[in-house]
Amino acid sequence: MIEHEQALRPGAVQAWRDAIRQPTMRGPFLLVLLLTLLLLVFAALKPLGLMPRAAAIFPLWLHTLTELAAVLVALLVFVAAWTAQGRERSLNITLLGAGFLAVGLLDLAHLLSYKGMPEWLTPASPQKAIVFWLCARYLAAAVLLVVALKPDSALLGEAQRRWILLAFVGLGGSCVALGLAWPDVWPPFFIEGQGLTPVKIAAEYGLVLMLLAAAGLLVRQTVRARYSSADLAMAAVISVLSELCFTLYANVDDVYQLLGHAYKVIAYAFLFRAIFLFAVRQPYERLSQEIAERRQAERRLEFLAYHDPLTALPNRALLQDRVEQAIAEARRSGRAAAVLLLDLDQFKHINDSLGHGVGDELLRQVASRLAAVLRATDTVGRLGGDEFAILLRDVDGQAGVLRSLAGLQQTLAEPFFIGKDEVHVSASFGVALAPQHGSDLETLLGRADAAMYRAKASGRNTYRFFDLHMQDAVLHRMDLQSGLATALQRGELELHFQPQIELATGLMVGAEALLRWRRADGSLVPPALFIPVAEESGLIVPISAWVLHEACAQAAQWPAIAGLQPVVAVNLSALQFRQGSVEAVVQAALGSSGLAPQRLDLELTESILISDPASVLQTVSRLKALGLSLSLDDFGTGYSSLSYLTQFPVDKLKIDKSFLQGFGQTRSDTVIVEAIIALARSLGLKTIAEGVETAEVAQGLAELGCPLAQGYHFARPMPGAAMLAFATEHAAAATTGKAPA
């Protein structure tokens, strides 16, 4: 494990500039400036002879006191470094601890040997004191330099730390022994009566080298270290100033000695702060930080428990609480509260075509618009997806709700701008009133949902108020949904086939597979009832796959009738295209049944084509390439867009049965049927009329040149076997020239 260096910016000069421009460095720099100026003033006074030489301004007791302070700080630094825990036991902190212990030892020797101190092994003398002093200063400088130049330091084991400690104590002890036993092996540093020798002055200047350490410490500040690099740097700089004072003194008690020792005390104060205070404070600071982060996380969790993360709107839990309050209030005041359920129309289409990023942003913008038009006492929440719930408090029945609804519809009618997209949306609203329709959120939402379902069914972009009749429809829908979930496994689904007749010959050329659900009680549920439920729940996908397999499997077994192999027509649902499974399912059904693709006709509705034109076109083209044919079902009821007709490779238009009801009777239906047949012919497409109920209609269609027809006039949808019997009988009748039944 290493201490991580934080290079503030690349480039040493830039890094240095950045380091000294930190606001926390302002105070220390002012101090250094002040101390430098003071030193310069005192240095200038010396050659001018303004400093009284004999002034005993720095008494022995003061020296003893300042040096004791330095020894104490060194000891504390050692203690703080040595008790460092875990990943903080790095080489650097060990060097600082062991190094300053040795420095403290030498400073102790220095103070005991100071001129005027009682004899300690050998008599006190300035020479001896200077030897210890210089050893201490060079040792401190070396330690700081190593730490400054090597901020990435490895973690050490206990044994390694002990060896380092031993080495430093040994070094300090040897210097003390050398100073005591052989004070004369050192060059003379001080001559009584003359003052400092050039060697001593040069040695003090040599310590300017500590500025290098200071620069390194400032530039390469380490994060997560057990010491403050900036404070160590300050200690180094002020130590250099202190050494400069010691190049000036003539007597051990003169003003330069006082100044030098005062500076040393200041330098040691920074050292104390850099290691001891830092080590003491750091764990508490970390603790209060860890704690702050946890509080923040807790606050976030608390927020998420009651809000939707995407829109920051209240969620169901918070709504629940507000609804309870609103109902209690409504009971007291005798007025009402209302729960509105809002569902964006065609949101899925926006999400699919413009992407989820746009979808999310749209939801956020919708959320803020809704909130902006409501009163402060109302609440808008998001239930999920594109569903929002709105609680209106204290409303005077439907009239009050209508006023809010108008505002909500109006704000949603304005276009939304998302990036470069302009998006238009509308919404369907369902409204339930409290306490009239329910007195808890679940009931009210359920009822608002039933009303919203009605709003959607009546063409979207509108609202409906709940009434009790809707409840039956909801129960019915729920019953269908739960029954349908198991219908497939229980084999309750079956296919009926409705013959498709060639008008010119009267022969059955194909049959449309129509799904039936025979419930356990024997009742037959028509597809118009359960297919919408299957589509809503997604069950239509496995159901459609079953229909395709079953239709192909049965059709593959059909015998040729009057030399003709009938085509089987299968209805597809939009959801199969959205889930991308349609192509694989068709291929699997053809493959497993062995049915020739030419005998399969797929019926699409225009709503499938417009759901995602680009991707549906690709799928449809690939399906077409398999060799099967495509019909456009319910033609005339949807968009009947010419551009879709020319773009998509359909073979046949299937005229919707609603037009055949009035064909030959009402002008509008007759004109539409004629126009569709003419349009198809001009585009080279075939037509098939569905819902042909009378011979007159069949006759009329034949006269207009419509080649195919399907309807009760020929046959109702029926089980496969019955349909085959019909086909055989019918073929016989057709070939003998008898009019078919």
Q: Minimum distance from CB of 633 to Mg ion (Å)?
A: 4
Distances (CA, A) of 485 to 92, 394, 544, 548: 70, 41, 13, 18
Q: In terms of CB distance, is 228 or 576 closer to Mg ion?
A: 576
Report the residue from 475, 622, 712, 738 that binds ligand C2E according to the rule CB under 6 A. Answer: 712
Q: In terms of CB distance, is 88 or 633 closer to Mg ion?
A: 633
Window of 137-145, 222-230, 520-528, 624-632 that interacts with ligand C2E by CB under 6 A: 520-528
- The rounded distance, in Å, linking the Cα atoms of 311 and 367 is 6
Where in 326-355 is the site for Mg ion (CB under 5 A)?
Answer: none
Partner from Mg ion, ligand C2E, none contacting 514, C-beta within 5 to 8 A by type: ligand C2E
Helix, strand, coil tally for the chain in percent (to 5): 60, 15, 25
Helices (H) and strands (E) in the chain, counts: 28, 21
Where in 616-675 is the site for Mg ion (CB under 5 A)?
Answer: 633-634
Report the residue from 3, 345, 601, 634 that binds ligand C2E according to the rule CB under 6 A. Answer: 634
- The rounded distance, in Å, linking the Cα atoms of 569 and 552 is 9
CB 692 within 8 A of CB 711: yes
Site string for ligand C2E, 463-502 (x = CB under 6 A): -----------------------------------x----
Q: In terms of CB distance, is 322 or 657 closer to ligand C2E?
A: 657
Q: In terms of CB distance, is 513 or 731 closer to Mg ion?
A: 513
Q: Minimum distance from CB of 527 to ligand C2E (Å)?
A: 3
Window of 172-180, 246-254, 566-574, 699-707 that interacts with ligand C2E by CB under 6 A: 566-574
Q: In terms of CB distance, is 421 or 693 closer to ligand C2E?
A: 693
Q: Minimum distance from CB of 636 to ligand C2E (Å)?
A: 12
CA atoms within 13 A on the CB side of 739: 5
Q: Minimum distance from CB of 568 to Mg ion (Å)?
A: 12
Window of 262-270, 580-588, 684-692, 727-735 that interacts with ligand C2E by CB under 6 A: 684-692
Q: In terms of CB distance, is 483 or 527 closer to ligand C2E?
A: 527
686 burial (CB, 10 Å; 0-12 / 13-18 / 19+) is middle
Q: Could you write out the DSSP letters of every residue in 46-80?
A: TTTT-S-TT---S-HHHHHHHHHHHHHHHHHHHHH
Instruction: Say whether residue 652 binds ligand C2E (CB under 6 A).
Output: no
Residue 465 pairs in a beta bridge with: 431
- The rounded distance, in Å, linking the Cα atoms of 44 and 393 is 84
Q: In terms of CB distance, is 515 or 600 closer to ligand C2E?
A: 515
Instruction: Say whether residue 633 binds ligand C2E (CB under 6 A).
Output: yes
Q: Minimum distance from CB of 715 to ligand C2E (Å)?
A: 9
β-pairing verdict for 190-191 and 195-196: antiparallel
CB 166 within 8 A of CB 102: no
Give the residue among 514, 330, 277 at the shortest CA–CA distance from 440.
Answer: 330
CB 238 within 8 A of CB 261: no
Instruction: Say whether residue 544 binds ligand C2E (CB under 6 A).
Output: yes
Instruction: Say whether residue 601 binds ligand C2E (CB under 6 A).
Output: no
Partner from Mg ion, ligand C2E, none contacting 235, C-beta within 5 to 8 A by type: none
- The rounded distance, in Å, linking the Cα atoms of 444 and 447 is 5
Partner from Mg ion, ligand C2E, none contacting 93, C-beta within 5 to 8 A by type: none
Angle at 586 between CA 583 and CA 590, to 5 degrees: 140
CB 78 within 8 A of CB 102: no
CB 605 within 8 A of CB 641: no
Q: Minimum distance from CB of 710 to Mg ion (Å)?
A: 9
CA atoms within 13 A on the CB side of 487: 30
Partner from Mg ion, ligand C2E, none contacting 531, C-beta within 5 to 8 A by type: ligand C2E
Sheet holding 427-434, edge to edge: 379-384, 387-395, 336-344, 427-434, 463-465
Three-class secondary structure of residue 374 per DSSP: coil
Instruction: Say whether residue 526 binds ligand C2E (CB under 6 A).
Output: yes
Partner from ligand C2E, Mg ion, none contacting 345, C-beta within 5 to 8 A by type: none
Give the residue among 369, 39, 7, 21 at the shortest CA–CA distance from 216.
Answer: 7
Three-class secondary structure of residue 655 per DSSP: strand
Distances (CA, A) of 492 to 305, 483, 488, 532, 543: 43, 10, 6, 18, 11
504 burial (CB, 10 Å; 0-12 / 13-18 / 19+) is exposed
Report the residue from 376, 528, 560, 614 that binds ligand C2E according to the rule CB under 6 A. Answer: 528
Partner from Mg ion, ligand C2E, none contacting 271, C-beta within 5 to 8 A by type: none
Instruction: Say whether residue 578 binds ligand C2E (CB under 6 A).
Output: no
Report the residue from 179, 216, 717, 720 that binds ligand C2E according to the rule CB under 6 A. Answer: 717
- The rounded distance, in Å, linking the Cα atoms of 395 and 377 is 11
Report the residue from 326, 337, 380, 547 that binds ligand C2E according to the rule CB under 6 A. Answer: 547
Instruction: Say whether residue 639 binds ligand C2E (CB under 6 A).
Output: no
CB contact burial 570-600 (16+ within 10 A = b; e otherwise): bbbbbbbbbeebbbebbeebbeebebebebb
Report the residue from 531, 609, 689, 731 that binds ligand C2E according to the rule CB under 6 A. Answer: 531
Where in 547-606 is the site for Mg ion (CB under 5 A)?
Answer: 571, 603
| Tokens linked to 699 | 């006759």
Distances (CA, A) of 277 to 77, 129, 270, 290, 507: 9, 30, 10, 20, 103
Three-class secondary structure of residue 157 per DSSP: coil
Residues binding ligand C2E: what is the number (CB under 6 A)?
23
Q: Minimum distance from CB of 705 to Mg ion (Å)?
A: 21
Q: Minimum distance from CB of 526 to ligand C2E (Å)?
A: 5
Q: Minimum distance from CB of 691 to ligand C2E (Å)?
A: 4
Q: In terms of CB distance, is 381 or 636 closer to Mg ion?
A: 636
Report the residue from 3, 88, 254, 690 that binds ligand C2E according to the rule CB under 6 A. Answer: 690
Q: In terms of CB distance, is 401 or 508 closer to ligand C2E?
A: 508
Window of 36-44, 366-374, 426-434, 522-530 that interacts with ligand C2E by CB under 6 A: 522-530
Residues forming contacts to Mg ion in the complex (CB under 5 A) are 571, 603, 633-634
- Residues that bind ligand C2E in the complex, under the rule CB under 6 A: 498, 514-515, 526-528, 531, 544, 547, 571-573, 603, 633-634, 657, 690-693, 711-712, 717
